[in-house]
Amino acid sequence: MIEKKSINKNALIELFKKLRSQQWRIIAPVKTGEQITFREITDGADILEDYIQTTQSPKGVVFPPVEELFRYNIKKEGVELSEKENTVVPTLVFGLRPCDAAGIAPLNAVFIWDYKDSQFEERLANTYYMPISCSKTDESCFCTSVGGNPGDTRGSDILLTKLSTGEYLAEIITEKGKKIADLGTGLFGPEPTEAKEKNLAVVDRRFDAKELEQKLKTLFNNKIWLQQSLRCIGCGACAFVCPTCVCFDIQDEGRGNKGKRLRCWDSCGFSLFTLHTSGHNPREVQSQRWRQRVMHKFSYQPDRLQVVGCVGCGRCSRACPVDMNLSEHLTRIMEVQP
């Protein structure tokens, strides 16, 4: 049962102070030059509100771009392995958009199906999400086409929606959300009278993800992949800003006899991604890699893990240096005659 309360900006700042006094980290969008990125904040005063989407998603909080898996020490008598001491602290991710919170589910699906990734699990268990609903949108947004909406509660522990009065509607959704509300006793007010919906942006639905999943099953050999990817330079920017891309590489980084085994973000858009040592490459050309990106997110993953690998945040379209727009391309794909 969702509990509805209200909170104003000053009370939020107080809440952050309280959490920080109990050794929590607060991660929030911060303006860094032209970009808006997620950083740890020490003061709530610079809470950003006037932006459509952050440049990077907060994916790195639970799945860091580069992460130590273990350390090794090569000695004469053998090799010693050691693991980092547990450093996970409770973390509140504040001010993300509802699409990013919805993006936790596809990440989680990959990391815990079958083998359980304990580092990811532990971080996620200690991460609390408090997004703010979207009151604005741009042409890259398409959350409503992939099962979301500007006030979507999926993945949120507490969802805030800014009201015309300046205060926030606070929907307390999960047990974790309740824990935050309990830590901030006295800071939350009664449920506001104003309706949530009239404060939400309108995002037009461009396609239906379920129909797309079915459609893609018929298009593997279609020429649309080549047409759409001719301009793709395989830079991987789309994957690096994506809140749901999971693909990673494992590399050793060492000096002398000591080093670390690292997990690093990777992209199926890179030609090296699938290259065999023999020189054989199952996905030799960029069109095959573009097809893989679309197929994996909208067909294979829904089929396999029952979750669409996209939340419609639009970052890939905004970040693409050659203007490949994902929702436009997906809309075209829906129109193709197989």
Partner 1 sequence: MKNPNIYKPYLMRIQKITDEAPGVKTFRLVFENEEEGNRFDFKAGQFGEYSVFNEGECTFCIASSPTRKGYIECTFREAGRVTGALANLEEGQTIGFRGPYGNIFPIEEWKGKSLLFIAGGIALPPMRCVIWNCLDLRDWFKDVTILYGARTVADLVYKQELDEWAKRPDVKLVTTVDPGGETPDWKGEIGFVPTVLERMEPKSENTVAIVCGPPIMIKFTFPVLTKLGFPPGDVFTTLENRMKCGIGKCGRCNVGKYFVCKDGPVFTFTQLKDLPPEY
Q: What is the binding site for partner 1 (CB under 8 A)?
A: 69-70, 72, 74, 78-79, 81, 83, 110-111, 113-119, 121-122, 220, 246-252, 254, 257, 259, 261, 263, 266, 268, 273-278, 280, 282-283, 288, 292, 295-296, 299-300, 303-304
Strand-by-strand arrangement of the 168-172 sheet: 3-7, 168-172, 158-162
Which residue is it, tokens 């709530």? 44
Q: What is the DSSP-derived secondary structure letter of residue 232?
A: -
Q: Which is nearer to partner 1, 94 or 265 (CB)?
A: 265
C-alpha gyration radius of the chain: 21
Select from 59, 155, 110 the least CA-distant residue to 307. 110
CA distance 88 to 125: 10
- Asked whether the beta carbons of 313 and 53 are under 8 A apart, the reply is yes
Give just the sign of the alpha carbon dihedral 98, 101, 105, 106.
Answer: positive
- Could you tell me the smallest distance in angstroms from the CB atom of residue 97 to partner 1? 25
Q: Which is nearer to partner 1, 249 or 328 (CB)?
A: 249
285: left (phi over 0), alpha (psi -120 to 50) or beta: beta
- Could you tell me the smallest distance in angstroms from the CB atom of residue 280 to partner 1? 6
- Could you tell me the smallest distance in angstroms from the CB atom of residue 137 to partner 1? 30
CA distance 37 to 42: 15
- Could you tell me the smallest distance in angstroms from the CB atom of residue 54 to partner 1? 24
- Could you tell me the smallest distance in angstroms from the CB atom of residue 222 to partner 1? 12
Interaxial angle between packed helices 286-295 and 326-335, expressed in degrees from 0 to 180 and rounded to the nearest 10: 90
- Could you tell me the smallest distance in angstroms from the CB atom of residue 327 to partner 1? 23
- Other Cβ atoms less than 10 A from the Cβ of 100: the count is 25
Q: Which is nearer to partner 1, 30 or 307 (CB)?
A: 307
Tokens for 54?
């952050």
Tokens for 256?
């002398």
- Could you tell me the smallest distance in angstroms from the CB atom of residue 174 to partner 1? 22
Q: Which is nearer to partner 1, 108 or 140 (CB)?
A: 108
Q: Which is nearer to partner 1, 51 or 70 (CB)?
A: 70
Q: Which is nearer to partner 1, 32 or 251 (CB)?
A: 251
Q: Which is nearer to partner 1, 132 or 310 (CB)?
A: 310
* Residue type, position 102, single letter: A
- Other Cβ atoms less than 10 A from the Cβ of 126: the count is 16
Tokens for 159?
């969802």
CA distance 2 to 208: 27
- Could you tell me the smallest distance in angstroms from the CB atom of residue 308 to partner 1? 14
Q: Which is nearer to partner 1, 40 or 80 (CB)?
A: 80
In 199-254, where does DSSP find H-type helix?
Answer: 209-216, 224-229, 237-241
- Could you tell me the smallest distance in angstroms from the CB atom of residue 263 to partner 1? 7
Q: Which is nearer to partner 1, 95 or 309 (CB)?
A: 309
